[in-house]
Structure 1
Amino acid sequence: MKIGIPKEIYLGETRVALVPGLVVVLKKQNHEVFVEKCAGKLAFCSDKEYEAAGAQLVNNAKELYQQVDVIFKVQPPQFHPEFGRYETDMLQEGATLLSFLAPFAKPEIIEALAHRKITAYSMELIPRIARAQNMDALSAMATIAGYKAVLLAAGKLKKMFPLMMTAAGTVSPATVLVLGAGVAGLQAIATAKRLGARVEAFDPRPIVRDQVKSVGANFVEMELPKDAETSGGYAKEQSDEFLMKEREVISARLPKVDVVITTAQVFGKRAPLLISREMVQLLKPGSIIVDLAAEQGGNCELTAPNQTIESNDVTIIGAVNLPAAVPADASLLYSHNLLNLFEYLFPNGKASPSYEDEIVKAACVTRGGEILNEQVKALLPQGVMV
């Protein structure tokens, strides 16, 4: 098969969908790999490395899209300023696309892919089951986001994270509160602990209590719902009554903490509001909030996506696309996720995937002019495009 790796044109995106080291793997399987020139530059993957691995360099995205059967991407297709067209319009009709697609935030892109009869797999929709773990790009990127969130907070905080005992006196450790103990939250806990902070964490899913304690944090207790998690491993949307009780518990902790890392999200919906404008005032002057749910509306009422704002001497960081801050490692992990999905879909390079397979059925959003995902279909005026 002919596989294409275009340069990402989304503002601020530094990752590349396939690193040179994995081009070699595809070449051994007798695939051809085409890479747009400078596609990996921001991830520190040079054109020379791609050529040495056996890839063919292509001058631009338009030329690339015209000669490949399968496209690996990071960001959903965008409007391409160089050609004045959307990337969806440049894809060959009937091609296969493996990428993050933001299907609930940008259903119009899904509609355009269906119109072009693209078979599109959304990396967000890979199910959280054991045999799909090596394809789970959301978890891989969330691990990086949790790590970077703590480093952002540590860089902004006007005190040190660890306990310091010196001849001049003892400095007490910072206290970090992590809201949401999914993949990003657990990594944030572990990173804050490694830096020497005292860490507390809260999550409405009782099942994560032991996970929180296993990485060194104290679990903030309250009466928790029994059905807080979906069968796919994601947090469920909670009632207004429960959220009000949750905010009361969080409010009691805020005067005692220096840093809050918020990671709470509900798949396909707006992030729950955990910290109101009034609650921000409970934090000590100099405190930091890093909101990893900024793109989904934010867990803090004052969060502005991709902005850092000040309110009552509290800094609120609306963190967006943190994996792009470490593009070398983020690209490596994401490349493995994509390669594993590709090899699962096409084990001999030609086999057609079974669309009744659990992984394929969950991740395949469009095929043959049809939108297959019912949730995405419901967001559009017309569910099926031909």
Structure 2
Amino acid sequence: MKIGILKETQKGERRVSISPNIAKQLIAKGFEIFVEEDAGLKSSYKNSDYADVGVQVEKRGVLYKEAQVLLKINPFDEDDLKLVDKGQILISQLYHKSNAELIQAIAAKGATAFSLDAMPRISRAQDMDVLSSQNNLAGYKAVILGAYEMTKIFPLMMTAAGTITPSKVLIYGVGVAGLQAIATAKRLGAVVEATDIRTETKEQAQSLGAKFISVDNEGEASEGGYAKEASDEYKRKQKEAVDKSLFQADLVITTANVPGRKAPVLITEEQVLQMKNGAVIIDLAAAQGGNCEVSKMNETVILNGVKVIGTTIAPESVSTNASELFAKNIYNFLMHLIKDNAFKWDLEEEITNETLIVKEGEIRQK
């Protein structure tokens, strides 16, 4: 089976879907691997690094002609689909619930598509879950970015000139990104608080040293392990419970995304206006509309002395690690889907069923 690794074209993207190390493992399993020229350069992987492990380095057009399976991180775009042939298998993050036109276009080509972001949140799929592996890095990097943007240090510091009190960090969302943010901020010496609609995350947050801000969530629940859209009543209760901590925080990190929907607004403009002068908000949900009402994607907004940074953050900014983890997720996914160098197409199996969005031109998931 021939697999093609495409160069990412989305603005700001620095990752590559398969690293040379994982390509070598795939070749050992009997796959023939092609990679587009310079696909790994921004992740510090040279063309020669791929060639040295047996990967064929080719121009973009050759990959589309040769490969049966095409791999990307970001959704296939209009230019990509011009080159896709009937029967080819596409694997990437498709965000199919909010990307209906793309799914229709893939179906019109008679192609097959798996969406990595549709991976079910079950224990068997953990080693294939790209959202978890990438969000782990995002949580870490959010704290590092916050430390750079703040005008204070994190830890308690006792000096001859006086004592510096530790910074206060507030984290919305105790998923993979939030947990890593808690751990990183604690290691750097901050006082950390966290909140989440999922009360089952309380113990996890506390185990990492954060104070959990509990909010009565009767009638609320999660969906498939992900936080769901909260009711207006819950949002009101959360605002009341969190306001004191928010107004005292030096750094706030928001991580709340709802798959396939606009991100919930957790911090209003009115709340920002009541925060400390010099406080920093890192909004990791900016790509889906933002958890902070005033945030803008890839922009820094300063409101009443509060710096609001809208980002997805990125895994892109630590692209070497991010690419290696993403590649391992794909490797595990391919090993799950394929037997004896052919796809099993086991549609009775949960992972295959939920990630297979289009099969040979037929849309299966909407």
2:251 paired with 1:253: no
Residues 1:360 and 2:346 are matched in the alignment: no
Q: Where does structure 1 differ by over 3 angstroms across 4 or more consecutive aligned residues?
A: none
Query: Given residue 189 of structure 1, which amino acid in structure 2 is its aligned partner?
Result: I
SS in 1 for 2:247: helix
2:68 paired residue number: 69
TM-score by length of 1: 0.93
Matching residue's letter, 2:230: Q
Is 1:27 aligned with 2:20? Answer: no
Distance 1:368 1:219 in 2: 48
Q: Please tell me whether the aligned partners of residues 205 and 225 of structure 1 are also in contact (alpha carbons under 8 angstroms).
A: no
The answer for the alignment partner of 1:83 in structure 2 is none
The answer to whether the 8 A contact 1:176-1:259 is kept is yes
Segments of structure 1 that go 5 or more residues without pairing to the other structure are 80-85, 377-386
Structure 2 counterparts to residues 117-266 of structure 1, below 5 A: 117-225=110-218, 227-230=220-223, 232-266=224-258
Is the CA contact 1:7–1:37 (under 8 Å) kept in the aligned structure 2?
yes
Q: Say whether the 8 Å CA contact 1:189–1:217 is kept in structure 2.
A: yes
State the distance in 2 between where 1:368 and 1:321 align.
35
Match of 2:269 in 1: 277
> Counterparts of 1:97 and 1:233 in 2: how far apart (Å)?
26
Identity over the aligned pairs, expressed in percent? Answer: 43
State the alpha-carbon separation in 2 of the partners of residues 142 and 295 from structure 1.
14
Name 1:306's counterpart in structure 2. Answer: 298
- Matches of 2:225 and 2:31 in 1, distance apart? 35
Aligned to 2:3: 3
CA RMSD across the alignment? 1.1
> Does residue 318 of structure 1 match 2:310?
yes
Paired with 2:193 and 2:111, the residues of 1 have a C-alpha distance of 46
- Is the CA contact 2:263–2:289 (under 8 Å) kept in the aligned structure 1? yes
CA contact (8 A) 2:17 2:72 kept: yes
Q: Aligned to 2:96, what secondary structure does the other structure show?
A: coil
- 2:40 matched to which residue of 1? 40
For 2:30, give the aligned amino acid.
Answer: N
TM-score (normalizing by structure 2): 0.98
Query: Do the aligned residues in 2 keep the contact of 1:310 with 1:316 (CA within 8 Å)?
Result: yes
Q: Which amino acid aligns with 1:180?
A: G
**1:66 aligns to what SS in structure 2?**
helix
Q: What residue is the counterpart of 1:342 in the other structure? A: 334
Shifted more, 305-314 versus 99-108: the winner is 99-108
- CA drift of 1:294 comes to 0.6
Assess if the C-alpha contact under 8 Å between 2:95 and 2:118 holds in 1: no
Shift of 1:255: 2.0
Instruction: Tell me what 1:92 maps to.
Output: 85
The answer to whether the Cα contact below 8 Å between 2:220 and 2:231 also exists between their aligned partners in 1 is no
Q: Partner amino acid for 2:80?
A: E
**Aligned partner of residue 104 in structure 1, secondary structure:** helix
| Contact 1:251 1:282 (8 Å CA) reproduced | no
Alpha-carbon contact 2:197-2:220 (below 8 Å) kept? no
Work out the number of aligned pairs and report it.
366
**AA of the residue aligned to 1:18:** I
